[in-house]
Amino acid sequence: GENVEQHPSTLSVQEGDSAVIKCTYSDSASNYFPWYKQELGKGPQLIIDIRSNVGEKKDQRIAVTLNKTAKHFSLHITETQPEDSAVYFCAASLRENKLTFGTGTQLKVEL
Amino acid sequence: EAGVAQSPRYKIIEKRQSVAFWCNPISGHATLYWYQQILGQGPKLLIQFQNNGVVDDSQLPKDRFSAERLKGVDSTLKIQPAKLEDSAVYLCASSQNTGELFFGEGSRLTVL
């Protein structure tokens, strides 16, 4: 089955700096790569996703890049704000509805 | 639009006892999922329903876990008997066919 590795496990940045979280996947057939944000005591919430026919996608301060050859994808957050502090999960799947999640990155944005 | 509802939010039981969690998905969402999230890990799929049929339960420990979605709407996940390693947050999610999963706030289980 699919295996997703995520790094780093914790990330601390100053407000206004950029944050980058990286994931690798094992199944070259995977074609859907979402990113979820989980705040304390809440369920994960989709923030951005990318499909294998696209190399990059951007939505305001967040962007995701995909390198199919290397089987890795990354989340980029620019101009970080305190409300960006949360746990971020990457995921991969062959079908949209069967996700394998990474182990999560605890992002802390410091004032 | 109401989100995914789950109850109870917290449950503490002793090992070998039983527990049940309830989920009501977003109205109109045909697909319902139960995920297990152990502290410090990502969610792991336990079971996926499409309407009232099981699509995938390959990672459900069937000797102690069971789930049902009798009328194709709300669902119940049961654990009997519970083990210490079952301590986790049990997340319910639902989706249409757009790919996005909508998660509830989860039910936190502590097994003593």
**pLDDT score at B98:** 67
β-pairing, A100-101 vs A86-92, is antiparallel
Q: Answer yes or no: do A32 and B99 touch at CB < 8 A.
A: yes
Residue type present at position A15? E
Please give the average per-residue pLDDT across A41-63, as a whole number: 93
Answer yes or no: is pLDDT of B71 > 90: no
To the nearest whole number, what is the mean pLDDT of chain A? 94
Q: Are the CB atoms for A15 and A82 separated by under 8 Å?
A: yes
In whole angstroms, what is the distance from residue A23 CA to residue A48 CA? 14
Mean pLDDT of A11-33: 96
Cis omega before residue A8 (within 30°)?
A: yes
CB pairs A-B closer than 8 Å:
52
Q: Looking at residue B96, what is its pLDDT?
A: 87
Q: What pLDDT digit, counting tens, does each position of B82-100 carry?
A: 999 999 999 999 998 767 8
**pLDDT over 80 (residue B57):** yes
pLDDT of A40 > 80? The answer is: yes
In this structure, is the dihedral angle defined by the CA atoms of residues B71, B72, B73 and B79, taken in order, positive or negative?
Answer: positive
Contact A109, A15 (CB under 8 A): yes
Residue B83: CB atoms within 10 Å: 12
> Is there a contact between A96 and B104 if contact means CB atoms under 8 Å apart?
no
Structural tokens at position B18: 């039983």
Provide, as residue numbers in chain A, all residues whose Cβ is less than 8 Å from the Cβ of B44: 101
Percent of chain B clearing pLDDT 70 (strictly above): 98
The share of chain A scoring above pLDDT 70, in percent, equals 98
Please state, in angstroms and rounded to a whole number, the distance separating the CA atoms of residues A80 and B106: 27
